[in-house]
Amino acid sequence: MPLQTLTISSAHKLLLSKQLSVPELVKQHLDRIEAVDPKIHAFLRVQKDNALMRAQQSQKRYDAGSPRSSLDGIPMGHKDLFCVQGVETTAGSNILKGYVPPYSATTALKLEEAGAIMLGKLNQDAFGHGSSTENSDFGPTKNPYNLSRVPGGSSGGSGAAVAASEVLFATGTDTGSSIRLPAAFTNTVGLKPTYGRVSRYGVIAMASSLDCPGPITKTVEDCALVMETMAGHDEHDATSSTKPVPQYSARLATGVKNLKIGVLKEFFSEGLHPQILERTKQALAKLELLGAKLEEVSLPSCDYALAVYYILMTSEVSSNLARYDGIKYGYSVERQSEIKIPTLQAVYEESRRLGFGAEAKLRIMLGTFALSSGYYDAYYKKALQARELIRQDFIRAFERCDLIAGPVSPTPPFKIGEKTENPLSMYLSDIYMTPINLAGVPAMSVPCGFVDQLPVGLQLIAPHFAEERLLQAAYAYEQATRFYEQVPNV
């Protein structure tokens, strides 16, 4: 079977029936990385030897008739925010170049225990700051569907690696768009879970009250398989939920008959690209044809959600990134014998000046401003209150409908370099996604067609902890449209 049509579930079946071995599967993906990644730059580093060794161990489990799970032997990649013990983890930033974590993220451990095999670490906007992967300190990732376009961000390496069949799935994180946008831009499936559904432990923090780790996969079924492995309570993350995790993959084919889908008025506003509007309308019509009932809903608070998001996110960023100070790990001017640094204060200031990229500095400065004396009440506190209004708005909307649907991004994948000089124009890419993070509810991007051969995603949003319903609707839509079969020509 050609690599590009393989999914987690089909590969697992081939492994079980001995038509494929794990070392073959892993080798094929490593070869694919070698062939296409110089063009795409999805990977920051590849762990070839380690992956091949683990492939042999996994094959032994299949030979003994006892693979650990459907993910056993499946090649994956981690966004470089995920700490993996003993493997350099940089968050896409120079300030963490050379940093080797002493422990692994809980999610990385869970996936490893399920038998999945990490092929390497994936590129991203540094610390998750961006919507295009252009803010990586190690160079941008290209969109496999068009190498002059961005793959979205911040988990752009994850989306691109899955789309280009370099791995069968990847992890990502979504603070304001960072799983859904790359999924939409690369014709892949991305799930941003409910806040607290997946442990954040060992995932380098961006904005702790918003960060949600989750999967990027080729299909909805694969998404369910990875999600049920990643989710669950973790004693190392006090905000992780103790609610039991459903076996999402077991009950996918329920259909959408009589499901009430709210069509969010505020997401069909003036900034929406006409052809994205058209694709979204077609997708909604398809859902209706499948038996769903559409109803217009309005969430007036979405209008100011992006402002709320950028105040709260940058405030938390300024606090979380205070730890990179040139003292404990990562880049430090103390390592540069040619730089003479007189004081402790100067060690901080110079290490941060030289270690952080432009976007991280801008966000630290914005957050420091919003939290500073004289501005705290007008910005930070006001934004916290407005966030509560947004959360209540969503809870009220879900009293009237089971799901909400709309576009993921207002535009198709944009050109590399198009938005880098104007941060605000880049921030506006996230306009339909940030309200979801503020409300803490789960949402997905599922492929819904193409505009000029560039992928478009449909966004589905569910109430808190209703991931199962989200996956069921996405599955019904995907099976009726099968856009995932249109793989890129790399």
Partner 1 sequence: MNLTLEEIRKIAKLARISLNEGEERKMAQQLSAVIDYFKKLQTVDTSGVDVHLSEGEEGNRLREDEARESGNQEVILSQAPLREDNFIKVKSVL
With beta carbons less than 8 A apart as the criterion, state whether 259 and 403 touch: yes
For the bound state, the minimum distance from the C-beta of residue 381 to partner 1, rounded and expressed in Å, comes to 7
Segment interacting with partner 1 (CB under 8 A) among 54-62, 138-146, 179-187, 300-308 = 300-308
Interaction between residue 379 and partner 1 (CB under 8 A): yes
- Phi then psi for residue 79, to 5 deg, are -55, 145
- Which residue, among 180, 228, 27, has the nearest Cα to 117 in the 3D structure? 27
Helix (H) or strand (E) holding 40: helix 22-40
Q: Which is nearer to partner 1, 285 or 344 (CB)?
A: 344
With beta carbons less than 8 A apart as the criterion, state whether 212 and 193 touch: yes
Compute the 3-state secondary structure of the chain and give helix, strand, coil in percent, each to the nearest 5: 45, 15, 40
Q: Which of 126, 167, 383, 470 binds partner 1 (CB under 8 A)?
A: 383
Q: Which is nearer to partner 1, 144 or 463 (CB)?
A: 463
Question: CA–CA separation, 360 vs 354, rounded Å?
Answer: 12
Question: Exposed, middle or buried, 52 (CB in 10 Å: 0-12/13-18/19+)?
Answer: middle
Q: Which is nearer to partner 1, 373 or 489 (CB)?
A: 373
Question: CA–CA separation, 427 vs 424, rounded Å?
Answer: 5
Q: Which is nearer to partner 1, 221 or 316 (CB)?
A: 316
Q: Which is nearer to partner 1, 437 or 445 (CB)?
A: 437
Q: Which of 387, 397, 442, 444 binds partner 1 (CB under 8 A)?
A: 387
**Per-residue x/- marks for partner 1, 173-202, CB under 8 A?**
----------------------xx------
For the bound state, the minimum distance from the C-beta of residue 410 to partner 1, rounded and expressed in Å, comes to 16
Q: Which of 106, 133, 143, 332 binds partner 1 (CB under 8 A)?
A: 332
**Per-residue x/- marks for partner 1, 408-447, CB under 8 A?**
---------------xx--x------------x-------
The CA distances from residue 159 to 76, 78, 130, 156, 444, in Å, are 12, 11, 14, 5, 13
**Per-residue x/- marks for partner 1, 40-79, CB under 8 A?**
----------------------------------------
Interaction between residue 394 and partner 1 (CB under 8 A): no
The CA distances from residue 365 to 130, 133, 304, 317, 359, in Å, are 16, 21, 21, 10, 10
Please identify every residue annotated as catalytic.
79, 154, 178
Q: Which of 27, 68, 97, 361 binds partner 1 (CB under 8 A)?
A: 361
Q: Which of 4, 10, 209, 479 binds partner 1 (CB under 8 A)?
A: 209
**Within 10 Å of residue 272's Cβ, how many Cβ atoms?**
18
Segment interacting with partner 1 (CB under 8 A) among 36-44, 50-58, 97-105, 393-401 = 97-105
Q: Which is nearer to partner 1, 82 or 195 (CB)?
A: 195
Q: Which of 35, 250, 253, 378 binds partner 1 (CB under 8 A)?
A: 378
DSSP assignment of 218-233 equals SSHHHHHHHHHHHBS-
138: left (phi over 0), alpha (psi -120 to 50) or beta: alpha
* Torsion, Cα of 330, 130, 446, 237 (10° steps): 40
Binding residues for partner 1, how many (CB under 8 A)? 70
For the bound state, the minimum distance from the C-beta of residue 317 to partner 1, rounded and expressed in Å, comes to 11
- Identity of residue 212: C
**Per-residue x/- marks for partner 1, 301-330, CB under 8 A?**
x-xx-xxx-xx------x---x--xxxxxx
Q: Which of 1, 100, 289, 480 binds partner 1 (CB under 8 A)?
A: 100
- Which residue, among 197, 203, 198, 216, has the nearest Cα to 153 in the 3D structure? 216
Q: Is the dihedral of CA 96, 98, 101, 102 positive or negative?
A: negative
Q: Which is nearer to partner 1, 166 or 393 (CB)?
A: 393
Segment interacting with partner 1 (CB under 8 A) among 44-52, 121-129, 259-267, 332-340 = 332-340
Which contacts (CB < 8 Å, 24+ apart) does range 36-41 have?
36/144, 36/164, 36/166, 36/490, 37/164, 37/166, 39/142, 39/147, 39/490, 40/141, 40/142, 40/144, 40/147, 40/160, 40/161, 40/164, 40/166, 40/490, 41/123, 41/139, 41/140, 41/141, 41/142, 41/157
Question: CA–CA separation, 121 vs 77, rounded Å?
Answer: 6
For the bound state, the minimum distance from the C-beta of residue 195 to partner 1, rounded and expressed in Å, comes to 5
Q: Which of 391, 466, 481, 487 binds partner 1 (CB under 8 A)?
A: 391
Interaction between residue 352 and partner 1 (CB under 8 A): yes
- Name the residues that contact partner 1, by CB under 8 A: 99-100, 102-103, 195-196, 209, 235, 238-239, 241-242, 301, 303-304, 306-308, 310-311, 318, 322, 325-330, 332, 334-335, 341-350, 352-353, 356, 361-362, 364-366, 368-370, 372, 378-379, 381-389, 391, 423-424, 427, 440, 464
